[in-house]
Chain A
Amino acid sequence: MANAKSKEQVVNPIGASFTRNDVYEKVTGSAVYADDIQFGNKLLYARAKRSPYPHALIKKIDISKAEALPGVKVVVTGKDFPNRIGLYLQDKTIFATDRVRFIGEPVAAVAAISEEVAMKAVELIEVEYEELEAVFDAEFGASDKAPLIHPDLDKYVCPNFIFPKAGTNIANHFKIRKGDVSSAWDKCAYVVERSFKIPHIQHVPIETHIAIAQMDEKGKVTVWASSQSPFAQRNLIAHALHISQSDLRVIAPLVGGGFGSKAGVTMEAIPVALATKCKGWPVKFLLTREEEFYTNFVRQGLTIHVKVGCDKEGNLLALKNMMYWDGGASTEYGTNVTRAGGYSSSGPYDIPNVETDSICVYTNHPIGGAYRGFGMSELHTGLDQAIDELAEKAGVDKVTFLKKNGVAEGDVLVTGMIMHKNGIQECIDNVAKSLKMNEKEKPSSPDRLRGKGIAAMWKAPAMPPNPGSSAWVEMSEDGNVTVGLGGQEIGQGTFTVMAQMAAAALGVPYEKVRIAGPVDTQYSPYEWQTVASRLTWSMGNAVVLAAKDARRQILETVAEAWKESTDDLDIINGVVVSYKSERETSLENIVIYGMPKENNEGWTGGPIVGRGSFMPKYVTNLDAETGQGPRAVVHYTVGCEGLDIEIDKNTGTIYVLKGAASFDVGKAINPALVKAQVEGGFAQGLSSAMFEEIKLVKGVMTNPSFVDYRIATAPDMDFPLDTPFVEVPQDDGPWGARGVGEHPMVPTIAALGNAIYDATGIRLTNPPYSAEKIYLAMLDKGLVK
């Protein structure tokens, strides 16, 4: 070959730890987040009037004084926006209409020329309430003694895999009936029964929620939002306001942390509602940190009763799970959290007999929504601690117990689905080896106790059966590639991973690929939501299809011009080569202008536009009574974590000596990004295990600030963390990849609980496992005086 450009050394884009493609902007301060967009002098500021009661009827709202305040542009209340909205169960309105159901629920909103005026106006809104008896406990809420929070539950719209019970507070009851649990207990040599209460926690993105909305004179709405779900927001908000989806444009700049909180629709609908009443004016709504803590999605609380048994050798035989989820005032998203908790309720273990009731209950608490790995941290906190105890009872060492029962290819899962190939054995081995789980080690001082804990996990993307992804690939004159996509960069690095995949599928160097951002529903291709650790797999498949489509078009153009067959052509390092004629041409220009045919016969080709669309088609519904069906989910990601800790006997303080985390990612497209996800998730999991709890007293969150709601800081994370990953390929994943964004925080509470038990012999059921709780328990047990 004369031109050796195709032979220059190139890094295979798959499996290479490229630098993130958004990082230069992020370190120089030029990265644009929603609050950084300038709207000029016309910008209005929104504030919400919120309910001070957990449960009350709204008797009267008087907005006249607020409206009369100079500087106030518009005041809206629920009566103008009666339509219901919700991702799964449509049980929510933008503002409370006839009753309020939690403290902080918006009842009205103001748009004014400044924050100060808006805040003053909110104070001038007068609302008369009649207080009602409230529900603050999910188990009580599920009983027939509880007052009804949604008397109209029978009228709410929901998909056919959610099962609300009209006339109760039960928004979803998901059941598993696999095998025969009641007769299995007799065959068990050892049984453990435990109850756990997992508190509500908050996602705490450092960027609070923000949305800006503007309606033009013709009624078209543009929303700029910090969002994981621009397309779902377009759909749901358009639906609630009776406008066409194509007249609602959502622009989603970079997101300063999401973790599920910015999925679906929450506060974004408020500025839109205001904007519809003041055409032409942009309206900005930025949540305060206090509002962020309890007025938007939180992770719902869970009370779980676990009973699990095994035979003499330690083979799991039976599991019974009773789960009461504190869904809060609306369960539009939470119903699917409880469903996920149900269909994965065995954990990554092969258990022949399982009975699960996963019950989502309305309470007068903040609204539960998606939180990183939803349902799974909560479930595993109970399940993996009960299993830890069972292993000990059976006299089987814990690592052996997990491995013996770990789910394997071909196993019939809790839903009847057949398990695929997976690397759980390697994940457990990695953690066991890293922490020397088989060695009991001495504490560093007599004032300390030492313990090690391990916990395995699994998680499937929790979503409707048919969430779609799409992508396009275009090229510029210089042969550079632009990928259009609708999944969102929330810090996980998806734009980088998508660029790597497009580069590899097309045959160009990684550096030549750009991502068309920000995501904008007017130009970007459809993506369901940036949730469920689904992008690498689902959007990745769409991007690969689009890149392959573009590649096909290029090869057809060149083949026609050269009178060759596409079978003999390839694109290597951005150069089209013929294996037959050994001719070469770079992509420059031909991807826009096409190529002249030989003998002056005209032209071939033209601007290249590749398209790709992907949607899983094989997920089935599950039987309402048994939770059984051929395929509950697309796949599971499995993994394991462990901790080696010391506990200070004088204070109960935990010192982590080492952490280990290993997940089967199928294929690490960018190993450094995988490890970064695991580190961050582990830290978030540990933070939730040691510190975090939304303290609710009669519906009031008593700790809505960083001073009173502590999250892990840098000194808390002062220990080595080992993160070897496993790669057992996913059959329908791009290069075998599956997601891992959420999983690292799933087993952490259980791993810590097991380590505390190993150190002290104390099983602390209810997280967070704070120093105070540990100290008091040690005192109680006589370990310290």
Chain B
Amino acid sequence: MTLKTITLTVNDLVETVDVPQNMTLLQMIREKLSLTGTKNGCAAGECGACTVLMNGEPVNSCMVLAAECEGANIVTVEGLAKAGKLSTLQDTIIEAGGVQCGFCTPGMLISATALLKRNPNPTDSEIRSAIVGNLCRCTGYVRIVDAIKMAAK
């Protein structure tokens, strides 16, 4: 399979990676960059576990081809804390108790981060629709929504 060399920014670091044409962004992040915080829950764009920020927008990284990410700016869950300090949302999801098995958490945090960036004061239903594509089977979303509200304050 032919490889394509791409250069992109991931969590503020410039990376140059050789990727097969059919490799997804999710596979590249996990397998080539060893950033395993981003999860695979369906590989079909239906669960949100693989959500990352691409140029500031949340995307399902399992639905993006790595080869098309030339020049892109990607933020994964590993990029949310800066210099060892957790982001506000990371703090509030801990405080609210919004983490159980934790498998949805990285994607959830990314979607919520994007929400608060474009809408710092979301309503309850805006919060819920911003994470409608992030499935969580453990929490009933109760404390996840609480955490996003707390971070918005």
Give chain A's interface residues, CB within 8 Å of chain B. 17, 19-20, 22-33, 35-36, 38, 203-208, 254-259, 288-289, 490-493, 672-673, 675-676, 679-684, 705-707, 711-715, 717-718, 721
Contact = CB atoms under 8 A, between A and B. Distances in A.
Contacts of A205: 101, 103, 137
A258 B100 CA distance: 11
Interface size of B as a range: 35 or more
13 contacts: A25-B102, A27-B102, A28-B90, A30-B78, A36-B36, A254-B102, A256-B41, A492-B100, A676-B100, A676-B139, A683-B140, A713-B128, A714-B136
Nearest to A27: B90
A707 B46 contact: yes
B142 interface: yes
A715 B101 contact: no
Given A676-B97, A676-B139, A714-B128, A26 B102 contact: yes
B51 interface: no
A714 B132 contact: yes
A28 B140 contact: no
Find the residue from A28, A491, A705, A721 having the highest chain B CB count within 10 A: A28
Interface in B42-81: 42-44, 46-47, 49, 76-78, 80-81
A150 B41 CA distance: 35
Contact of B102 (A35, A208, A491): A491
A746 to B, nearest CB: 15
A705 B124 contact: no
Nearest to B136: A206
B138 interface: yes
Given A207-B103, A259-B137, A718-B125, A29 B41 contact: no
B47 A706 contact: yes
Nearest to A686: B140
A28 B145 contact: no
Given A256-B101, A256-B102, A29 B37 contact: yes
A712 B37 CA distance: 24
Main secondary structure of the interface of A (DSSP, over half): loop
Main secondary structure of the interface of B (DSSP, over half): loop
Nearest to B41: A206
B140 A27 contact: no
A706 B42 contact: yes
Contacts of A36: 30, 36
A714 B105 contact: no
A705 B135 contact: no
A673 B139 CA distance: 11
Going nearest first, the 6 A-B pairs with the smallest beta carbon separation are A29-B37, A683-B140, A491-B101, A256-B103, A26-B102, A491-B100
A197 B101 CA distance: 31
Contacts of B99: 20, 23, 26-27
B24 to A, nearest CB: 12
A679 B142 contact: yes
Contacts of B38: 29
A718 B128 contact: yes
B6 interface: no
B144 interface: yes
B60 to A, nearest CB: 12
Contact of B86 (A19, A28, A257, A683): A28
